Amino acid sequence: MISRTMSILGLAALVLVGLGMLFNSSATVAANTPPPPSTEVKIDNFSFTPVTLTVTAGTTVTWTNRDDIPHTVVSADDPKTFKSKVMDTDEKFSFTFTKPGTYTYFCSVHPKMTGTVVVK
């Protein structure tokens, strides 16, 4: 009887150790997962910098208005893929590009300001 009890306790201990290793490795994988890619476009002196940006799908692009006057970021397609509100100095707008393609955009306040995001 003691032998059977010891076998059951040994088996239970192995199961607990295995579960502990499983949960510990899951936490390590989650902790080692890199954050999604991101990049920035600056709005300054009536231009987007860089004018053309190439990113991978899943990248978040953030536009920051460094100008002293308001600007927007609006996709040129119809219906609009993205459209910011009017941004004052130091305000930001972000959009995550999930699908490959070429996305042209402009400032609706100053339509001659244009840029492109190429998503691979």
51 and 94 co-located in one domain: yes
Peptide bond into 37 cis (omega under 30): no
Find the domain containing 73 and state its range: 38-119
| Percent of the chain whose pLDDT exceeds 90 | 69
Q: Show Cβ contacts of residue 9 under 8 Å, excluding neighbours closer than 6 positions.
A: none
At which residue do the structure tokens 């492109």 appear?
116
75 and 109 co-located in one domain: yes
Rounded CA separation 63/94 (Å): 6
Q: What is the pTM (predicted TM-score) of this model? A: 0.72
Q: What is the pLDDT of residues 46-69, one digit of tens each?
A: 999 999 999 999 999 999 999 999
Instruction: Give the total number of structural domains in the chain.
Output: 2
The candidate with the shortest Cα–Cα distance to 62, out of 92, 84, 37, is 92
At which residue do the structure tokens 């002293």 appear?
68
pLDDT exceeds cutoff 60 at 1? no
